[in-house]
Amino acid sequence: MNKMNKLTKTILYVVIIIICILTLLPLLWMLSASLKLDKDVFSIPIQWIPRNPQWKNYITIWTKIPFGLFVFNTTKLTVIITLIQLFTSSFAAYGFSKCEFKGRNVLFLFYIATIAIPWQVYMLPQYTMMNKLGLIDTHTSIILLQSFTAFGVFLIRQFYLSIPNELLEAGRIDGMSEYGIYFRIILPLSKPALSTLTIFSFVTVWNDFMGPMIYFNTESKKTIQLGIRMFISQYSADYGLIMAASVVSLIPVFIIFVAFQRFFVEGVATSGLKG
């Protein structure tokens, strides 16, 4: 029996290692390609370790286009939108999970149902609305459109349902208002769920391409994803520079994940305890 268990664990570990390698291969190829000349990027067989590493690619991306400005714009939008989503999602989730009012569950059902509606369906009405407000080609348009997320409300609400109502009742007995309970009791207990939403929101906003492409026209407003697109011309593409810029754009995402990974698994697990 012990031999069977060891064999099963060995097979499981082998499968997991293979899956990890397959998952990391595209990233390793991107890192390798970022140190090559354009003519060597798609060479066969693949040179995983470039014979003549082109470290200058990582310098050229900052001089050929205003890459630093694009990094600043992306960081600005991502941080602002993520913070707003954390507040709006946690605040709405508290109302949907801990505050009793007529039609609460129905309203929550309709709100969550918006997740199933493709963005392409309401993309044009959103653009028309922003155009009438004079917010086209401004960062405000993207911030307003992405300040609320039904997925975030659902995620955090599921976590709040696992918090005993007795804690809230004790706070009310002590004379705390609903706002006091939210800020002093609920939020300090919500680190796993908030960390999970931080990762999801940060990655989504940081990697957004369609939104900035539709709403930003001037170069001074563009983000990293649009900046990487500038390395592609009508008849050619600087693949080495594209890969170098892509590697740089992944660094903040990696840092955020490492910073919040301690709470990530806990947040995903505990957010599904109750329905």
Nearest one of 70, 25, 41 to 223, comparing CA atoms: 70
Nearest one of 203, 211, 179 to 261, comparing CA atoms: 203
* pTM assigned to the model: 0.85
The residue whose two tokens read 């310098």 is 59
Domain ranges of the chain: 55-270
pLDDT of residue 264: 66
CB contact at 8 A, 190 and 90 = yes
Other C-beta atoms lying within 10 Å of the C-beta of residue 48: 11
Which residues make beta-bridge pairs with 237? 232
Q: Which residues of the chain have pLDDT under 70?
A: 1-4, 234-235, 264-275
pLDDT of residue 73: 95
Architecture label for domain 55-270: Orthogonal Bundle (1.10)
